[in-house]
Amino acid sequence: MEHLLRPRTVAVVGASRDPTKIGHVILKNIIESGFPRERVFPINPNVDEVLGIKCYPSLKEVPYEIDLAVIAVPASIVPRVLEDCAERRVKAAAIVSSGFKEVGNVEAERNLLEIAKKGGVRILGPNIVGLIDTVVGLNASFLPYLPDRGGIVMVSQSGALAAGLLAWTKLKGIGLLDVISLGNRADVDESDLMEFFSKDVHAKAIALYLEGVENGKKFMEVARRVSREKPIIILKAGKGWRAAEAVKSHTGSLAGSDAAYDAVFKQCGIVRAGDVRTLFDYALSLAMLPDPKGENVVILTNGGGAGIMGADACEEQKLRLMDIPEDLASALRKWMPSFGSVLNPIDLTGMATEKEYYGSLSVLLGDERVHAIITLFSHPATLNPMNVAEAIVRCVNKVKGDKPVVAAFIGGKECEDATRFLIKNGIPAFDTPERAAAALATKYRYAYYKSRPKGKHLEVRVEKDKAYGILAKALREGRNLTQSESCELVSLYGIPTPKKIVAKSLEEALSSAESIGYPVVLEVESPDVVHKTEAGGIRLNIKDGRELEDAYYGILKSVKEKAPGARVEGIVVRPFVREGVQVAVGMHRDEVFGPLIMFGSGGALVELYRDVSFRVAPLTDVDVDEMMRETKVYHVLEGFRDAPKDVRSVKEVLAAVSQLSLDFDVISDVDINPLFVYERGCMAFDVKIMLKGSSLCGT
Ligand code: ACO
């Protein structure tokens, strides 16, 4: 990775004299970026020299060690070039050429990887724009120029987007350390890059644009570790509800494909950005700001409007605005007219000049009770924004990075220039108070990620043999588990379920109800009916034998009509359970990351309310706690306008579902909905377990 990302010598394969060809542009860029000419080797069998540099017919002829070969020849020639790399012991290859997996040539790409693995060559790409490294001063890409040097590493799965973002960051004055186009990721992927940059002293933050992750396990393992050392910010595109309509479980249809990414990012301490702008807003804040030492945030402004917007934004971002103590207030009053305000936001008024900004900011920076500052400036005709920006930089430099300071300058071109100046001088600066508050809040969020305990994995004791028996029978018969098998399976993992008897006739149902005691519930026992309410397959609160007889025949008739062809294996009789707070616990197996565990509000309307949160198994106690707190129903469990419920029992259910999903990867989905939660204990009222590849019919 060192040879790929910090090369000492570079060969360009496909270096043409034709200035319109990519191989020519890359060679020219390498030279123009200041990389020493004597360490650049153009390769082309048809010419002796390109851009004044001696050209070799093949890599094999180069009499020097080569760290990196940038390959820009048509796809059909790439395998041969890669063989040369292997023979010549070139350490890394950046393959610009398109025409592999992205157009369906999976086999050709696999072949590249095989050659590279055998020869010990690391591959970046194929299908990339190349890479830029400001540490050695190398533009080994067909991107037009080097970025301004900074601490942010930019990695993009899309080459075209990398080009756009390079220009965009240049315009905004945002400094980058490396720009890396990932392309098809035949070998080097985002995890390898995160790992490398976690140890690079120059890298302060890693910003990635990703469309997806292929190796979920590796990604989680690396990201979890790296994010404690370096901030990772990801813009993940493609939030689509992949095949959501084809998924029959509640959990599956709520999960879509994006919930897994969201969960993984939270579990791994990755900051998620919603768009390009926030990707760099957060990257700036995380790369530049020192960790805050406490929660007291102060807003300094020259305008009431900006101040109020800033205060609203802080509230929304859950930043705590400090109450200004009297001694601090009187120190600040010296820097404002009598009609200024020392309430937070501190309003210096439109009369403020750079002198007032400098003075009041010095007071705030010097006070230990103040932990972070948002400096707002709204452009009045009387003052040049650059003067204020310079005053802020001077003031912050004087105290040398002790506490986070962000800025927002509201105005036109002059404010834009001032913002760029601030960024170049290490102060994250934006054009609105909302962006400034969000950037600061991200710093707080990341500080929380870094300091939160790693958590303990929750283990559950189970009778695995019995569980295996239940699943094996259903698998042999090519079906999902029935309701009673599902209940039995989860009860082996310690999840409380109501007693059930499967009756094969009306007489058996009547005697079962007598033994359980009225009121009872009747429901159809069928591996094919997934949503029983819709199929008319369930009747609640049956109080006597006469009602039971009606319900028994009613269910059989309704299922026959609404789920024709469904196998009916009997009618389940169970007690009519007292209702508690309804929550839902579930699992949907994600293709990339594995079992995705869900918690949220339960009942028939889960999909409508969407009060749910997700984490990927195995769950730690920290994961369980965080995921529960993200939902509204958690507040109900905690005792919102009622007695607190048994939260611990729900945590045990989440741990059990996590364990069950890890024990048997043949299970595709688990739905426990509702799980009634009482003041003491809980009860899984309805349990569905679906198996991979089992065909579902009915509703
Ligand atoms: N070793 C070295 N050079 C060779 C070899 C060899 N074995 N064989 C041929 N060459 C030379 C060619 O003779 C030519 O040089 P010349 O102009 O002196 O004749 C040079 O290599 C280039 O070969 P061409 O056949 O002319 O190929 P061309 O430059 O037209 O295209 C390229 C090559 C750019 C790699 C093309 O095949 C390709 O894949 N383009 C897409 C690149 C891309 O977009 N990548 C993804 C970016 S991501 C995004 O979204 C933008």
Q: What pLDDT does residue 400 have?
A: 67
What value, to the nearest 5°, has the Cα angle with vertex 695 and ends 609 and 557? 75
Q: Pocket of ligand 1, candidates 44, 77, 123, 124: which has the most ligand atoms within 8 Å of its Cβ, to mutate?
A: 44
Q: What pLDDT does residue 240 have?
A: 59
Neighbouring residues of 168: CB distance < 8 A, sequence distance ≥ 6? 276, 280
Q: Would the pLDDT of 252 be above 80?
A: no
Q: What pLDDT does residue 682 have?
A: 95
Q: Would the pLDDT of 401 be above 80?
A: no
C-alpha 99 to ligand 1 mean position (Å): 11
Q: Is the dihedral of CA 187, 189, 194, 197 positive or negative?
A: positive
Whether residue 127 has its Cβ less than 6 Å from ligand 1: yes
Q: Would the pLDDT of 59 be above 90?
A: yes
* CATH architecture of the domain formed by 581-691: 2-Layer Sandwich (3.30)
Q: Ligand 1 atom 1: the closest Cα is on which residue?
A: 44
Q: Residue 442: which pLDDT band, with cuts at 50, 70 and 90?
A: very high
Helical ranges in 589-689 per DSSP H: 606-609, 621-629, 633-637, 647-663
pLDDT mean across residues, the chain: 93
Q: Residue 698: which pLDDT band, with cuts at 50, 70 and 90?
A: very low
Q: Which atom of ligand 1 is nearest to the CA of 72?
A: 35
For the chain, give the percent of residues with pLDDT over 70.
Answer: 96
CA-nearest of 643, 574, 654, 645 to 619 is: 654
Average pLDDT over residues 470-484: 90
Tell me the C-alpha distance between 196 and 203, whole Å: 10
Predicted confidence (pLDDT) per residue in 318-342, tens digit: 999 999 999 999 999 999 999 999 9
CA distances to 31, 90, 180, 601 from 28, in Å: 5, 21, 18, 60
Q: Would the pLDDT of 247 be above 70?
A: no
Q: Would the pLDDT of 461 be above 50?
A: yes
Q: Ligand 1 atom 38: the closest Cα is on which residue?
A: 97
Bridging pattern class, strands 10-13 and 68-71? parallel
Tell me the C-alpha distance between 187 and 361, whole Å: 50
Residue 606 structure tokens = 């889960």
| DSSP designation for 584 | E
Alpha carbons within 13 A on the beta-carbon side of 694 = 28
Yes or no: say if 576 and 522 are a contact pair by the CB < 8 Å rule: no
Whether residue 72 has its Cβ less than 6 Å from ligand 1: yes
Yes or no: say if 289 and 297 are a contact pair by the CB < 8 Å rule: no
Q: Which CATH superfamily is domain 289-451 in?
A: Succinyl-CoA synthetase domains (3.40.50.261)
Q: Would the pLDDT of 239 be above 70?
A: no
Whether residue 184 has its Cβ less than 6 Å from ligand 1: no
Average pLDDT over residues 226-239: 92
CATH assignment, 1-130: 3.40.50.720
Whether residue 126 has its Cβ less than 6 Å from ligand 1: no
Tell me the C-alpha distance between 346 and 360, whole Å: 9
Fold of 499-576: Dna Ligase; domain 1 (3.30.1490)
Q: What pLDDT does residue 382 have?
A: 86
Q: Pocket of ligand 1, candidates 73, 82, 181: which has the most ligand atoms within 8 Å of its Cβ, to mutate?
A: 73
Q: What pLDDT does residue 464 have?
A: 86
C-alpha 22 to ligand 1 mean position (Å): 6
Residue 122 structure tokens = 């690391």
3-class secondary-structure state, position 221:
helix
Tell me the C-alpha distance between 410 and 414, whole Å: 10
Average pLDDT over residues 559-571: 92
Predicted confidence (pLDDT) per residue in 639-653, tens digit: 888 889 999 999 999
Average pLDDT over residues 397-415: 91
Predicted confidence (pLDDT) per residue in 100-120, tens digit: 999 999 999 999 999 999 999
Q: Ligand 1 atom 49: the closest Cα is on which residue?
A: 159
Tell me the C-alpha distance between 641 and 622, whole Å: 26
Q: Could you count the other beta carbons within 10 Å of the beta carbon of residue 201?
A: 6
CA distances to 34, 134, 138, 199, 485 from 1, in Å: 22, 16, 16, 12, 51
For the chain, give the percent of residues with pLDDT over 90.
Answer: 83
Q: Would the pLDDT of 695 be above 60?
A: no
Predicted confidence (pLDDT) per residue in 584-610, tens digit: 999 999 989 999 999 999 887 887 888
Q: Which atom of ligand 1 is nearest to the CA of 158?
A: 50
Q: What pLDDT does residue 243 have?
A: 41
Whether residue 105 has its Cβ less than 6 Å from ligand 1: no
Bridging pattern class, strands 594-601 and 581-590? antiparallel
C-alpha 66 to ligand 1 mean position (Å): 20
Whether residue 46 has its Cβ less than 6 Å from ligand 1: yes
Whether residue 77 has its Cβ less than 6 Å from ligand 1: yes
Lowest pLDDT segment from 30-34, 59-63, 277-281, 603-607: 603-607
Tell me the C-alpha distance between 284 and 205, whole Å: 8
Q: Residue 245: which pLDDT band, with cuts at 50, 70 and 90?
A: very low
Residue 589 structure tokens = 């197996």
Q: Would the pLDDT of 372 be above 80?
A: yes
C-alpha 88 to ligand 1 mean position (Å): 21
pLDDT greater at residue 152 or residue 500: 152
Predicted confidence (pLDDT) per residue in 260-319, tens digit: 999 999 999 999 999 999 999 999 999 999 999 999 999 999 988 999 999 999 999 999
Q: Would the pLDDT of 92 be above 90?
A: yes
Neighbouring residues of 435: CB distance < 8 A, sequence distance ≥ 6? 277, 281, 408
Two domains, one topology: 1-130 and 289-451: yes
**What's the chain's length in residues?**
699
Lowest pLDDT segment from 254-258, 460-464, 527-531: 254-258
Sketch the domain layout of the chain as residue ranges.
1-130, 289-451, 499-576, 581-691
Whether residue 16 has its Cβ less than 6 Å from ligand 1: yes
Q: Pocket of ligand 1, candidates 13, 17, 21, 62: which has the most ligand atoms within 8 Å of its Cβ, to mutate?
A: 21
